[in-house]
Amino acid sequence: MTETITLDLNAMAYGGEAIGRHEGRAIFVPYAIPGERVRVEITEDHGRYARARLVELVKPSPVRVDPPCPYFGQDKCGGCQWQHIETAVQPRLKGLVTLDQLERVGKFREPTVFEPFADESGWEYRNHALFRVNSEGRLGFLSAQSHDVYPVDDCMILHPLLNSLLRSLDMTYPELEWMELRAGTATGDLMLLLQAKEEQAPSLEVDFPLSIVQVDHDDGIVPLIGLDYILERIHEREFRISATSFFQVNSSQAAELVNIVMGALDLQGTEHVLDAYCGVGLFTAFIATEAERVTGIEVNPPAIADANHNLADADNVDLLEGAVEDMLAEVDGKIDAVVVDPPRAGLGPEVIDALAERRPERLVYVSCDPATLARDCQRLTRKGYTLEWVQPVDLFPQTYHIENVALLSST
């Protein structure tokens, strides 16, 4: 028999679910807001905690709004989790989630977490999106709480360039595994990446000037039309971004991220800075204008090729291809400061050990996951570092995701 209970919700979990307690166990409720009283149905019972489905809003929050997107909600598209929360309130909740992770996971007492830096509009920001293909060949996103594909015809958080491209497609491609759309929001460049179920590429009729690139099952890249990269501008500097290179999904907020990182580094022009996980050279390019020397490390070959192109005019930059833990030993000389921007899994113990051995005075950590940030900051404090502050930046409005920049100093 299904268990239905009434809950008062008092916190937000990393993952976008509101939390209440019932008979000593935590109950996680998606599509709810702290401060609400709700009726929920238990869907997963894990003993000390459970997950539940929202059944009724007994007392809704004053910051609850009607989601404008028809695809948002339970059993629908899982791309957004927070459209039911006022856009202006979302950054504050994300800041509280970051603080909670630092205190609970990182065991920090009263860490300094600044007011989150909000996105100006909260909509139409994504410069790329990956579409799955359902059993009927329709393009869509993974559903909430499942691996089913929920078909969509447009997306309210996509940049207008990509929504225009999306609406021009016929949306039914049974011969595809997936399709990814990319845009240079400042340049107007458009790219369509696809992976076909068979070797034969599908026929695509698009009225837009764009590049079409096929990714084969061995991760090879085959340009079908146009180039295998797009160009984007951040602070008037142009970056080449290849089909499989990582780049921040929100270009305008990426510019603010650069500002925060540069402020944290506080360079005086004499430093040797290491940019670990440097990608296409986003931070490296700006560090090079204020440091004496920069070394970048990147494991992804297309990204390091982009970085070499993007930094060709900087004669004080050395780029190394390989894993950070392997290449750190190849970095010559004293390292005064480090920027790390690792994947969601964070820094491995080998990387933390290697960084601590080189003892840079300032370490700027850019993170897309507050839990692994908290864990790694705690590990770094055991190596003699002090967590000075954390600056949340909302790169992902309408979702629970949050970017953070943390400054640690050597003690």
**How far is Cα 129 from Cα 192, in angstroms, rounded to an integer?**
10
C-alpha dist (Å) from residue 239 to 213, 236, 260, 288, 401: 19, 10, 19, 15, 25
Q: What pLDDT does 306 receive?
A: 98
Do residues 123 and 86 touch, judged by C-beta distance below 8 A? no
The angle subtended at Cα 389 by Cα 387 and Cα 391, nearest 5°, is 135
Q: What is the mean pLDDT of residues 198-204?
A: 74
**pLDDT bucket at 202, cuts 50 / 70 / 90:** confident
Q: What pLDDT does 220 receive?
A: 85
**pLDDT bucket at 1, cuts 50 / 70 / 90:** low
Q: Measure the CA dihedral 102/107/109/110, to 10°.
A: 10
**pLDDT bucket at 145, cuts 50 / 70 / 90:** confident
The CB density around residue 302, as the number of other CB atoms within 10 Å, is 19
Residues present in the chain in total: 411
pLDDT tens-digit map of 12-50: 999 999 999 999 999 999 999 999 999 999 999 998 999
Does the pLDDT at position 130 exceed 70?
A: yes
Q: What pLDDT does 338 receive?
A: 98
Q: What pLDDT does 27 receive?
A: 97
77 is catalytic: no
Q: What pLDDT does 352 receive?
A: 96
pLDDT tens-digit map of 341-395: 999 999 999 999 999 999 999 999 999 999 999 999 999 999 999 999 999 999 9
**How far is Cα 49 from Cα 227, in angstroms, rounded to an integer?**
50
pLDDT tens-digit map of 209-254: 899 999 987 778 989 999 999 999 999 999 999 999 999 999 999 9
Q: What pLDDT does 30 receive?
A: 97
Q: What is the mean pLDDT of residues 123-137?
A: 95
Contacts of 374 (CB under 8 A, 6+ apart): 101, 102, 104, 105, 106, 108
* Residue-wise burial string across 102-114, b where 16 or more C-beta atoms lie within 10 A, e elsewhere: beebbebeebebe
Structural domains in the chain, CATH included, are 1-64 (2.40.50.140), 99-120+250-410 (3.40.50.150), 128-229 (2.40.50.1070)
Burial of 333 (0-12, 13-18, 19+ CB in 10 A): exposed
Considering 77, 80, 368, 377, which one is annotated as catalytic? 368
Does the pLDDT at position 112 exceed 80?
A: yes
Locate 272 and state its tokens.
């040797």
Burial of 203 (0-12, 13-18, 19+ CB in 10 A): exposed
pTM of the model: 0.96
Q: What pLDDT does 141 receive?
A: 96
Phi, psi of 310 (to 5 degrees): -70, -25
Phi, psi of 92 (to 5 degrees): -65, -40
Q: DSSP 3-state assignment of 368?
A: coil
Q: What pLDDT does 208 receive?
A: 79
Q: What is the mean pLDDT of residues 321-326?
A: 95
Q: What pLDDT does 218 receive?
A: 77
pLDDT tens-digit map of 52-95: 999 999 999 999 999 999 999 999 999 999 999 999 999 999 99
Does the pLDDT at position 107 exceed 90?
A: yes
Q: What pLDDT does 171 receive?
A: 77
- Mean pLDDT of all residues in the chain? 95
**pLDDT bucket at 147, cuts 50 / 70 / 90:** confident
Q: What is the DSSP letter of 329?
A: G
C-alpha dist (Å) from residue 132 to 185, 196, 308, 363, 396: 23, 12, 32, 38, 20
Q: Strand ranges (DSSP E) for 220-336?
A: 221-225, 229-234, 237-242, 272-276, 293-298, 317-321
Do residues 127 and 185 touch, judged by C-beta distance below 8 A? yes
Phi and psi based region of residue 171 (left: phi greater than 0; alpha: psi -120 to 50; beta: remaining): left
Q: What is the DSSP letter of 299?
A: -
